[in-house]
């Protein structure tokens, strides 16, 4: 008989909630078979995210007590929950969330709908979005993991840039058009998320057009989008980065080389 309530079948079928928490555990969870026979699931977060652990317990249908403490290394406050379940741990192992997972995890093979929930969970655990000060509508999205997981993620989205460090790798997204795509993929009226990160995404202005009229670049470009709308730009490279266009191709178009880039046309109207 269990001491605390628990829906041990929570991860048996992946849906919006279970896929989200699977992704989150990939990032911030710890699972093991203690002594080879006793399954343990541990989720530890900083104290300010205590409410997220409580939400996890609600979704698991568990009244397992949450404990808090202070780190001996840096005096930071944290909270954690420890759940004992052979069934859940074995299921997580099957789903790729394995023991000593840091350098072992790979992006799982999931359908698009389930993958969006999984990546939202992983991003909430090991991702960040930062608004760049003094630069309107400029943000940086960063996701951290091992080299193979980041390569898998890059191949899945086909955008962003990979940065390889000694013990980890990063996928960094800086182009506003790509950040919007990432945002739209992971958020779709979903309630399961860390709201402090979602609130930063919410600051993105969907139809923002940057004013380059004060730039030292004296060239003026007339750009026509696929819908026939004309936009004047004074800084072609930045405009291309913000709209996910290839700068070299658009530059060629402005000089009469080629016809279009993703339906866009470009003409140099002032040197």
Question: In this structure, are residues 105 and 96 in contact, taking their beta carbons and an 8 Å threshold?
Answer: yes
pLDDT-based confidence at 244, cuts 50/70/90?
A: confident
Question: Residue 185: is its pLDDT beyond 90?
Answer: yes
Region 103-119: mean pLDDT is 95
> pLDDT digits over 33-75, tens only?
988 789 999 999 999 999 999 999 999 999 999 999 999 999 9
Q: pTM for the full model?
A: 0.78
Q: What is the DSSP letter of 66?
A: P
pLDDT-based confidence at 191, cuts 50/70/90?
A: confident
pLDDT of residue 46: 95
The beta-carbon contacts of 221-225 under 8 Å, at least 24 apart in sequence, are 221/254, 221/266, 221/267, 221/268, 221/269, 222/266, 222/267, 222/268, 222/269, 223/250, 223/264, 223/265, 223/266, 223/267, 224/264, 224/265, 224/266, 224/267, 225/263, 225/264
d(CA 229, CA 264): 10
111-136 per-residue burial string, b: 16 or more CB within 10 A, e: under 16: eeebbbbbbbbbbbbbbebeeeeeee
pLDDT of residue 92: 97
pLDDT-based confidence at 238, cuts 50/70/90?
A: confident
User: How high is the mean pLDDT of the chain?
Assistant: 91
d(CA 117, CA 120): 5
pLDDT of residue 117: 96
* pLDDT over 90, % of the chain: 70
pLDDT of residue 214: 54
**What does DSSP say about strands 77-84 and 67-70: parallel, antiparallel, or unpaired?**
antiparallel
Residue with tokens 């950040």: 179
Alpha-carbon Rg for the chain, nearest whole angstrom, is 23
Region 76-104: mean pLDDT is 96
pLDDT of residue 60: 97
pLDDT-based confidence at 134, cuts 50/70/90?
A: confident
Q: Which of 111-115, 141-145, 201-205, 226-230 has the highest mean pLDDT?
A: 141-145
pLDDT of residue 179: 94
Question: In this structure, are residues 105 and 145 in contact, taking their beta carbons and an 8 Å threshold?
Answer: yes
pLDDT of residue 124: 97
> pLDDT digits over 2-34, tens only?
889 999 999 999 999 999 999 999 999 999 998
CA 55, chain centre distance (Å) = 20
């Amino acid at each position: 008989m269990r001491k605390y309530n628990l829906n041990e079948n929570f991860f048996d079928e992946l849906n919006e909630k279970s896929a989200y928490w699977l992704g989150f555990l990939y990032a911030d969870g710890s699972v093991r078979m203690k002594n080879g026979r006793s399954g343990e699931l541990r989720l530890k977060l900083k104290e300010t995210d205590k409410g997220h652990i409580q939400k996890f317990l609600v979704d698991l249908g568990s009244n397992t007590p949450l404990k808090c403490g202070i780190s001996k290394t840096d005096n930071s406050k944290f909270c954690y929950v420890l759940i004992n379940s052979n069934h859940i741990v074995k299921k997580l192992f099957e789903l790729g969330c394995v023991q000593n997972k840091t350098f072992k995890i790979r992006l799982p093979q999931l359908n698009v709908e389930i993958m969006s929930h999984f990546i939202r969970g992983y991003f909430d655990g090991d991702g960040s979005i930062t608004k760049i000060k003094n630069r309107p509508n400029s943000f940086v999205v960063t996701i951290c993991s091992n080299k193979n997981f980041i390569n898998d993620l890059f191949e899945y989205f086909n955008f962003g840039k990979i940065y390889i460090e000694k013990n980890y790798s990063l996928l960094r997204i800086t182009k506003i058009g790509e950040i919007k795509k990432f945002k739209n993929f992971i958020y779709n009226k979903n309630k399961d998320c860390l709201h402090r990160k979602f609130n930063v995404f919410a600051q993105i202005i969907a139809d923002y057009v940057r004013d380059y009229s004060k730039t030292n670049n004296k060239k003026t470009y007339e750009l026509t989008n696929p819908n026939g709308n004309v936009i004047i730009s004074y800084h072609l490279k930045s405009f291309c980065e913000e709209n996910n266009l290839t700068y070299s191709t658009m530059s060629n178009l402005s000089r009469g080389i080629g016809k279009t880039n993703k339906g866009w046309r470009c003409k140099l109207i002032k040197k």
